[in-house]
Amino acid sequence: MLLAQTFYFALAKGYEACFFNIVTSISPNDDLVKGKSYYMAEAESILRIIKALEKKAPVFCPIDEIFRGTNPIERISLSAEILIYLSQGRTISIAATHDRELADILKDIYEFYYFSEIVDSSKGLSFDYKLKKGVSQTRNAIKLLKHMNYPKAIIDNSYRRAEKIDGFI
């Protein structure tokens, strides 16, 4: 849809669809000179999506890591409510997140897909680029830092702390 509407190009024998207003929230930027925090830039980009719902055309809205610029409790609460709100309008919403809690909250509203990755000592991080249905159960952040030769104490302590946090949540 994105390629078809913007570049008149589709990887298909044919393409037919109504016009979508494409509004994204991907990589918003803070502006310290203007006094705009990263979170404020995110909030403005999400508000643009919400305001686009007021127009006649349906909205296609890819969102990357919604509200990563704020604390986890408010991020998850706000993200869930915004994604629920978007699902009730004329939208196609695609949201990328690492917050597994959102999958639990939104399981009856959204479908979930993920890419899997492999971190190995010789190649580092690699992807198979195959879309899989469901929620990823793997973790790679600590493995990747280990591959980058972060200090052993940081890696070992991070694994221990992650186990404690995982048992707590």
CA 55 to chain centre: 25
Residue range 141-145: average pLDDT? 90
What number of helices (H) and strands (E) belong to the chain?
6, 7
d(CA 24, CA 44): 11
pLDDT tens digits, 68-122: 999 999 999 999 999 999 999 899 999 999 999 999 999 999 999 998 888 777 7
Residue 42 has pLDDT above 70, yes or no: yes
Given this model, what pLDDT does residue 169 score? Answer: 52
Domain definitions of the chain by residue range: 1-110, 114-169
CA distance 94 to 66: 11
Tell me which residue has tokens 């830092």.
145
* 169 or 23, greater pLDDT: 23
Q: Using DSSP, state whether 73 is helix, strand or coil.
A: helix
The pLDDT tens digits for 68-78 are 999 999 999 99
Q: What is the pTM of this model?
A: 0.84
Q: What is the pLDDT of residue 19?
A: 87
Residue 49 burial (C-beta neighbours within 10 Å; 0-12, 13-18, 19+): buried
Integer Cα distance of 167 and 145 in angstroms: 22
Pick the CATH number of 1-110 from 3.40.50.300, 3.40.1180.10, 3.40.50.2300, 3.40.50.360: 3.40.50.300
